Amino acid sequence: MKRGLLIVLSGPSGVGKGTVCRSLQARMPGLRLSVSATTRQPRPGEIDGRDYYFISDAQFQRLLAEGAFLEWARVHGCHYGTLKDKVAEVLASGSDLLLEIDIQGAEQVRRLMPEAVTIFMAPPSMAALEQRIIGRGTEDAQKIRQRLETARQEMKAYRSYEYLVVNDEVEATAALLASIIQSEKCRVSRGARPPLQEVNEV
Ligand code: ADP
Ligand code: 5GP
């Protein structure tokens, strides 16, 4: 069984990662989105086990001590982490898996799994990013300021990624991500082979 492709997507909070990923999954139903554990409070409409595993600080520290995380980071005052076993299980089953994680987590994954495809999503402008965070209506003024300040720092990290996509319009961005993933899966260096036994036996 061919292992699935691991895709890392980062970008500032509010740039539209979650929105674009929902559209991407509609285009690529086989693509799995990793569910992270976090100590952040759920936003209205977020569901435990679908959007995140919402856990306490003590639970997070226990998982960390057990070595359960492939990567983890403290972002905007809360802890976030990707569960190692889930990643291994999905990739071994042959499914492609997208991790939507911050730049510190991406750095850790790049080191541990250099075969991962890394994509950075940027907003068309800082003003557009601010409007999106305000429009989402899930953060108070102080948290919005904190996220914008972090965003300015995070934007500088785009050079460490293989791909940069600017999220101008949701459907166009989802189409772009789908084409990046499809292209990566056609790479011979990633194990793409023609469906001819005679060729593959050589
Ligand atoms: P993230 O997951 O990166 O934190 P979200 O997906 O929650 O961001 O999007 C933040 C807000 O921006 C949401 O209200 C969403 O509807 C809006 N949004 C996302 N993408 C776009 C876009 N291309 N143009 C305008 N608004 C967008
Ligand atoms: P939010 O609170 O807006 O859902 O996410 C805040 C930030 O945490 C985003 O940059 C998001 O990509 C990041 N994030 C979400 N899950 C993880 C994770 O498992 N690991 C890391 N390192 N970052 C994460």
Question: Looking at the domain assignment, is residue 107 inside a domain?
Answer: yes
- Output the ligand 1 site: residues, CB below 6 A: 11, 13-19, 132, 135-136, 167-170
Question: Nearest ligand to the C-alpha of residue 70?
Answer: 2
pLDDT at 201: 65
Question: Looking at the domain assignment, is residue 181 inside a domain?
Answer: yes
The protein residue whose alpha carbon is closest to atom 12 in ligand 2 is 101
Are 133 and 147 in contact, with CB atoms under 8 Å apart? yes
Pairing of the two strands 97-100 and 36-38: unpaired
Question: Looking at the domain assignment, is residue 200 inside a domain?
Answer: no
Give the range of the structural domain holding residue 79, as residue numbers without chain letter.
6-190
| pLDDT > 90 in the chain, percent | 90
Q: What distance in angstroms lies between residue 154's CA and the mean position of ligand 1's atoms?
A: 17
Question: Looking at the domain assignment, is residue 195 inside a domain?
Answer: no
Indicate the SS3 state at residue 161: coil
- For the sheet containing 36-38, what is the strand order? 52-54, 36-38, 78-83, 69-75
Q: Residues in the chain with pLDDT < 50?
A: none
CATH number of 11's domain: 3.40.50.300
Question: Looking at the domain assignment, is residue 58 inside a domain?
Answer: yes
The pLDDT tens digits of the residues spanning 136-158 come to: 988 899 999 999 999 999 999 99
Question: Looking at the domain assignment, is residue 180 inside a domain?
Answer: yes
The protein residue whose alpha carbon is closest to atom 16 in ligand 2 is 101
Question: Looking at the domain assignment, is residue 196 inside a domain?
Answer: no
Total domains present in the chain: 1
